[in-house]
Structure 1
Amino acid sequence: MSSIALARAYQQSFETHPYGTLALTNGALGALGDIVAQLTQNLVRNKLCFPRVFRAESPFQIQPRRVDDHRPPYDILRTVRFFAFGVGMGPVIGRWNFFLERHFPLRPSSIRMPQGQQGKVSLKALGKRVAADQLIMAPIGLALFLGSMGVMEGRDRHHIGEKYSDLFKPLVLANWQVWPLAQV
């Protein structure tokens, strides 16, 4: 399927079933992100090095050699948890973005532009939108992430509370360092 056909299929699905499309897309992206993270983590843990291995047919061929043969297994249930979280959050994020677009429009609607053209993006409105997103939704999303992952991992209330105590503040601070620049 070509990328144009895929984009059209997505657009049609979004127009007819916006929340279902957001849920499945967000779930798939969450699962894909976890797959990449786990595979990368496994590669880094294995500490691949590339000594020269001389063979008669190819004296310059390089083959990987593992320094550490212990490879943690791929955690498919973790990927399923990321998919489930993404499915649940997709519609929530969709509604949040609708709220942001409505209350913090990036382009003034009062200025009439020629057909097919849009006005300039207001940096002030963009700043307000990013600030609202980071100050309101980022902490809520991170709290929901930590809590739902804890529940899906089968942790009890005490252990989930410990996760919040250990991770919530550093995650929010890291989020504030990365995402505002990505949103601009």
Structure 2
Amino acid sequence: MALWRAYQRALAAHPWKVQVLTAGSLMGLGDIISQQLVERRGLQEHQRGRTLTMMSLGCGFVGPVVGGWYKVLDRFIPGTTKVDALKKMMLDQGGFAPCFLGCFLPLVGALNGLSAKDNWAKLQRVSWAAFLLFTVLFLFLRLAVVQCVAVIWNSYLSWKAHRL
């Protein structure tokens, strides 16, 4: 509990920095889980550069983009009722998620040296599924909690993005 309270204090003092670092850390964790538990690479075969790339994407792309989107979404649809949550989820999954993944996956592919043609083929193969929790979370905690829940999703994304 002390660690959680320290995190909340840091988040209150420096919300944007903490959210971005949280996204980067959890994207890195997702890649570690992908490499070790899904792909079963073992520590000797672990691709550290790939983990650093995912962490960098979390800090430089996922954190700022998703964190910014949550702010916009809360301004566009204020409130936390079930109806508000449903509206947010529909707008998020129907509009934002496809655009976000349509940018994220080619970005990973480009960083991994894929051609535009290979990137397009990979984008067409990846199934898009995600979820967000809008009813119980305050805006400033949303990115951290969603990213914690999404570690499994991040592991899947990392695995799919790095499969040939």
With structure 1 as the length reference, what TM-score do the two structures score?
0.62
The verdict on how the C-alpha distance between 1:72 and 1:183 changes in structure 2, with shifts beyond 3 A counting, is farther
Residues 11-42 of structure 1: CA distance to partner in whole angstroms, max 9, x if unpaired?
Answer: 33323332221111101001111111211124
Q: Of residues 67, 70, 95 in structure 2, which corresponds to 1:97?
A: 70
Kindly state the Cα deviation for residue 72 of structure 1 after the two structures are TM-superposed: 8.2
Residues 28-84 of structure 1: CA distance to partner in whole angstroms, max 9, x if unpaired?
Answer: 0011111112111244x89xxxxxxxxxxxxxxxxxxxxxxxx98212222112111
Aligned residues: 134
The verdict on how the C-alpha distance between 1:33 and 1:183 changes in structure 2, with shifts beyond 3 A counting, is farther
In structure 2, the partner of 1:164 is 123
Kindly indicate whether residue 84 of structure 2 is the aligned counterpart of residue 87 of structure 1. no
For structure 2, the 5+ residue unaligned runs are: 136-164
Kindly indicate whether residue 145 of structure 2 is the aligned counterpart of residue 148 of structure 1. no
Kindly state the Cα deviation for residue 104 of structure 1 after the two structures are TM-superposed: 1.8
For structure 1, the 5+ residue unaligned runs are: 47-70, 108-121
In structure 2, distance between residues paired with 1:133 and 1:38: 29
- The one of the two structures with greater contact order (alpha-carbon pairs below 8 A, sep at least 6) is 2
With structure 2 as the length reference, what TM-score do the two structures score?
0.69
Q: Of residues 27, 31, 42 in structure 1, which corresponds to 2:28?
A: 31
Please report the RMSD computed on the Cα atoms of aligned residues, expressed in angstroms.
2.6
Kindly report structure 1 stretches of 4+ aligned residues shifted beyond 4 Å.
none
In structure 2, distance between residues paired with 1:163 and 1:24: 28
Q: Is the 8 A contact 1:42 1:72 kept in 2?
A: no
Residues 131-170 of structure 1: CA distance to partner in whole angstroms, max 9, x if unpaired?
Answer: 0110111112211221110111022222222222333xxx
In structure 2, distance between residues paired with 1:42 and 1:129: 34
Q: What does 1:48-87 align with in structure 2 at a 5 Å threshold?
A: 73-87=45-59
Kindly state the Cα deviation for residue 179 of structure 1 after the two structures are TM-superposed: 2.1
Q: Give the letter for the 1:142 counterpart.
A: L
Kindly state the Cα deviation for residue 183 of structure 1 after the two structures are TM-superposed: 6.1
| Structure ID, larger Rg | 1
Q: Give the letter for the 2:66 counterpart.
A: I
Percent identity (aligned): 30
**SS of residue paired to 1:179:** coil
In structure 2, the partner of 1:179 is 131
In structure 2, the partner of 1:51 is none
Structure in which a larger fraction of residues adopt helix: 2
- Of 139-148 and 15-24, more deviation after overlay is shown by 15-24
Q: Give the letter for the 1:140 counterpart.
A: C
